[in-house]
Structure 1
Amino acid sequence: MSMDASRKPELLVVTGMSGAGRSTVGNALEDQGWYVIDNLPPQLLGPISDLFSLSKATLPRIAVIIDVRGGEFFNELQTYLGQLRARDINVRLLYLEANDQALVKRFESVRRPHPLQGEGTVLDGITRERKELLSLRESADIVFDTSELNVHQLTNRVAEAFATNSRALKVNVMSFGFKYGLPADADLVADMRFIPNPHWQEQLRSKTGNDPEVSQYVLAQPGVADFVEHYVAALKSVLAGYRTENKRFATIAIGCTGGKHRSVAIANRIAALLAADPDVTLSVSHRDLGRE
């Protein structure tokens, strides 16, 4: 008989772009009680997972950091992940992403070469690595985009997602502006540009979706209340499915043009309605608020 998903031992594989914050994530996981192993060849994932059978108390939570430093061994990571998922182990893949500009800046600040740049530039190495990691990026259970995060913000993000043994689904409802790009770590995206823009209301232009006047204006527009009601109902079905599949972190992105008015107001409203679910732990973030 297969072990109940909520009782399976946990193995978290951390990978992603060089310079995207793997060391910071590893330190943050250790602070939250995870047993962290850095720079592990994928071939050792099986033997590491055998540690679960040696535990006589609470099943351990093990995180392994695997990246392109493993050279040719790294290419077999997908194969070994597939083998582990066939066993009674809760294996999740956390992928750390960042845009080219952020990665180049980080490598230049520490004056270190990219592990794949060879005789080329740092950007050449980043481009090559992004191509090699594409299949892992697409199969990741959790994606953190660290482009705009400092060390403390990334540490807090890890704490939100992995701090306790709670089986509650952790949901981040995020507002954003389409003109600044889609959030790379969004699981679901909704577009609020069908709502009249408060920017064109002189008395509302300088305010944000956090202000009651803007929120009331946005929510009072024709069709908006119905949209929010139906979208939240659909989200509840999706989130229930995530829990069934043992996915425990999700980002719901709500966008408008600049991420200042409509998306902020709607994200706040959606979060308020989801907050009644006892199986969901909610956080709200406004990615682009203040950028204008």
Structure 2
Amino acid sequence: MQLILISGLSGSGKSIALRMLEDSGFYCIDNLPASLLTSVVEQVRPFGYDHVAISVDTRSAAALGALPAALDTLRASGDDVRVLFLDAQTDTLIRRFSETRRRHPLSGCALTIPESVAQERQMLGDVAELGHRIDTSDLSANQLRRYVRTFVSLDIGSLVLIIQSFGFKHGVPLDADFVFDTRCLPNPYYDPELRPMTGRDAPVAAFLAAEPQVGQMEDDIAGLIERWLPAFRLDNRNYLTVAIGCTGGQHRSVYLGERLAARLRQGEQTVLVRHRELDEA
């Protein structure tokens, strides 16, 4: 069985992810207490469901402590168990609740929405470390669906390395394990002919490739990642996200993201590339 466990903060897009999986043929269960996870999986197994998605979050907060043991039990039985944790910046979550006029699940405890988000983030802190995190702050619904679809289709027999470019002016990704700042490098933005292009375009790539500092930055980042990947594998990490940032997330970070991905694909790990500011376009 392939089991996708979805968790995360309220308003981060869990419903979108679960509906996408349901449309893809998964048998989906929303808001299941973690203490019932193994028994429910065993109940549906005889019916031939080999793709199951289950949402677990703070609506069943008292049972969250049982989640790690339940995941270990299911993995020991040979199931392909993956945990997807959705997160978002606090101001983004507050805006989403304001726009939809939905009540936060914890607001019944006489908490404001900012207080509810802060408490929920603390309650889910340990769960966030169990799987792959996606920061949905700047993602459209279509982007999130694509990211989840990719996550489901991955071969996770080896560590999955995600190279993500972003623009600092739009915020640092919450799901990053490493963040590298490339704003000190020469900027193609100031060339009127290169400004409308991105780091994927040949003229921008040629501009940056001609700058020695850019090559040095690439070597330093790649060297650090290559040096420490074995340690992350020994720590049983399935996912590692490396975020490369420049000012707008269009030129330098995109170019270096593509270069690093091509270089790091030569190893044992699976490498994905995401360009946060370009993906929607």
> Where does residue 140 of structure 1 map in the other structure?
130
Written as runs of structure 1 = structure 2, the 5 A alignment for 1:191-270 is 191-200=181-190, 204-205=194-195, 207-229=197-219, 231-232=221-222, 234-236=224-226, 249-270=239-260
Aligned-pair CA distance for 1:97: 0.7
Structure 2 CA distance for aligned equivalents of residues 246 and 24 of structure 1? 29
> Which residue is equivalent to 1:88?
76
Alignment equivalent of 1:75, drawn from 59, 62, 65: 62
What corresponds to 1:287 in structure 2? 276
Deviation at 1:23, TM superposition (A): 1.3
> Cα offset for 1:263?
1.0
Shift of 1:238: 5.5
Identity %: 36
Which structure 2 residues correspond to residues 1-292 of structure 1 after superposition, within 5 A? 10-50=2-42, 60-70=50-60, 74-85=61-72, 88-89=76-77, 91-118=81-108, 119-137=110-128, 139-163=129-153, 167=157, 171-200=161-190, 204-205=194-195, 207-229=197-219, 231-232=221-222, 234-236=224-226, 249-275=239-265, 280=270, 282=272, 284-288=273-277
**Matches of 1:244 and 1:134, distance apart in 2:** 22
Q: Which SS does the other structure have where 2:198 is aligned?
A: coil
Amino acid at match of 1:45: L
Normalised TM-score (structure 1): 0.76
Q: Is the 8 A contact 1:34 1:62 kept in 2?
A: yes
Q: Report deviation, 1:149.
A: 1.9
Instruction: Tell whether the 8 Å contact from 2:164 to 2:276 is kept in structure 1 after alignment.
Output: yes
The aligned length equals 276
The separation in 2 between residues aligned to 1:222 and 1:230, in whole angstroms, is 12
The amino acid that maps onto 2:275 is: H
Offset at residue 179 of structure 1 (A): 3.1
Deviates more, 1:76-85 or 1:265-274: 76-85
Going from structure 1 to structure 2, the CA distance change for 1:116 and 1:163 (only over 3 Å counts) comes to: same
What's the RMSD between the two structures over aligned residues? Answer: 3.5
- The 1:83–1:156 alpha-carbon spacing in structure 2 relative to 1, beyond 3 Å, is closer
Matched-pair contact (CA < 8 Å) for 2:169–2:248: yes
1:56-110 CA-to-partner distances (Å, cap 9, x unmatched) read: 98x934332112222xxx2331333235426615544321111223222322333
Provide TM-score, normalisation by structure 2.
0.79
Q: Which stretches in structure 2 are left out of the alignment for 5+ residues?
A: none
In 2, are the aligned partners of 1:117 and 1:126 still within 8 Å (CA)? Answer: no
Partner amino acid, structure 1, of 2:68: L
Preserved contact between residue 9 and residue 88 of structure 2 (Cα < 8 Å): yes
What's the CA shift for 1:21? Answer: 1.2
Distance 1:187 1:32 in 2: 30
Give the deviation of 1:241 after TM superposition.
Answer: 6.7
Q: Using the alignment, how far apart are the partners of 1:45 and 1:125 within structure 2? A: 26
Measure how far apart 1:143 and its partner are.
Answer: 0.8
* Alignment CA distance shift 1:194-1:27 (3 Å): same
Q: In 2 relative to 1, CA 22–203 (structure 1 residues): closer, same or farther, beyond 3 Å?
A: closer
* Cα distance in structure 2, aligned partners of 1:279 and 1:122: 40
Q: Secondary structure at the match of 1:209?
A: coil
**C-alpha displacement of 1:55:** 5.5
Tell me, yes or no, if the aligned pair for 1:95 and 1:143 is still in contact at 8 Å: yes
Give the SS at the match of 2:59. Answer: helix
Query: 1:105 is paired with a residue of what secondary structure?
Result: helix
Structure whose residues are more often helix by fraction:
2
